[in-house]
Amino acid sequence: MNRKNTEELLRQVQSGAVTVEDAILKLKTEPFEDLGFAKVDHHRAIRQGAAEVVYGAGKTPEQIRLIADRLLAQDVETVLITRISKETANDLQASIPLQYYETARIGIAGKQPPAGGCACIVVATGGTSDIPVAEEAAVTAEALGNRVVRLYDVGVAGLHRLLSNLEILMKARVIIAVAGMEGALASVIGGLVDCPVIAVPTSVGYGASFGGVAALLSMLNSCASGVSVVNIDNGFGAGYLASRINQMGKDE
């Protein structure tokens, strides 16, 4: 639905020709814009609270540019583009306003929103090798308007590193625990705090880690209450979920 159609719908509501309930339903179910290779969902923010995110892997720079252009043209202020290489980002920066975060492999077209939410999101990693996945989570959360605190390389091999940050952990609204190997970090954090913990298993580890499956199973079997788990290396999914949790009730 473009601006003209939206204005007409609002006039019909004003005149009584369309009920408020019917107008809300129409806005929520209004169709997408068909670009042939993609169907851009302009009303996702109405339904879900955040605009469509562009998954960049497997798309050409031109496809990404066209999708981002259409979103920006519909007054989406921040377009999040995940899983793109530096080369793709360089191509995009020639035609659209794009800030690129190389470690996270994320591009943000448009404006970076101010940090909001009720408190902060803490992103913690077991080791330095987990940082790329953690950065995907952190940058995603920041792009959705959250304040993020990073605690990197605080895994269980040196537990004192984590325990020296207890105040930060206990002030968090939600914590993202990113770890490979045996994935124990999520259980340890889950046993220390009273907020939700989102566990992200990574594919970091030696042979018996099975590309992150060992960490995934450990996290799924956590004995700490309040720990949920996303897929292996899914930093984006963790950052998105953490944002939803952090921003619940902020407009009340």
Considering the domain architecture, whether residues 92 and 135 belong to the same structural domain is answered as no
3-class secondary-structure state, position 110: strand
Residue that is written with structure tokens 């030696």 in the block? 206
C-alpha 52/C-alpha 67 separation (Å) is 10
Digit-coded pLDDT (tens) for 2-18: 455 677 888 999 899 99
Considering the domain architecture, whether residues 50 and 150 belong to the same structural domain is answered as no
212 with 167: CB under 8 angstroms?
Answer: no
Q: Within a domain: residue 25?
A: no
Considering the domain architecture, whether residues 79 and 174 belong to the same structural domain is answered as no
- In terms of DSSP bridges, do strands 106-110 and 98-101 run parallel, antiparallel, or are they unpaired? antiparallel
Range of the domain at 48: 33-110
**Domain closes at, from 54, 89, 110:** 110
Digit-coded pLDDT (tens) for 41-100: 887 877 787 889 999 999 999 999 999 999 988 878 899 999 999 999 999 999 899 999
Considering the domain architecture, whether residues 232 and 127 belong to the same structural domain is answered as yes
DSSP 197-231: EEEEE-S-S-GGGGGGHHHHHHHHT--STTEEE--
Q: Within a domain: residue 7?
A: no
Report the pLDDT value the prediction gives residue 8, as an integer from 0 to 100. Answer: 82
Q: What is the CATH number of the domain that holds 204?
A: 3.40.50.1970
**Domain closes at, from 47, 75, 110:** 110
Considering the domain architecture, whether residues 229 and 125 belong to the same structural domain is answered as yes
Mean of pLDDT over the chain: 90
Q: How would you label 38-63 residue by residue, b for 16+ Cβ within 10 Å and e otherwise?
A: bebbbbbeeeeebbbbbebeebebeb
Considering the domain architecture, whether residues 237 and 129 belong to the same structural domain is answered as yes
Taking CA atoms, 67 is separated from 28, 79, 100, 212, in Å, by: 20, 10, 17, 32
Considering the domain architecture, whether residues 150 and 202 belong to the same structural domain is answered as yes
Residues in the chain: 252
Q: Does residue 251 have a pLDDT over 60?
A: no
Residue that is written with structure tokens 């492999």 in the block? 105
Considering the domain architecture, whether residues 136 and 80 belong to the same structural domain is answered as no
Considering the domain architecture, whether residues 86 and 132 belong to the same structural domain is answered as no
Considering the domain architecture, whether residues 122 and 210 belong to the same structural domain is answered as yes
Domain count, the chain: 2
pTM of the model: 0.86
**Domain closes at, from 88, 110, 132:** 110
Report the pLDDT value the prediction gives residue 148, as an integer from 0 to 100. Answer: 96
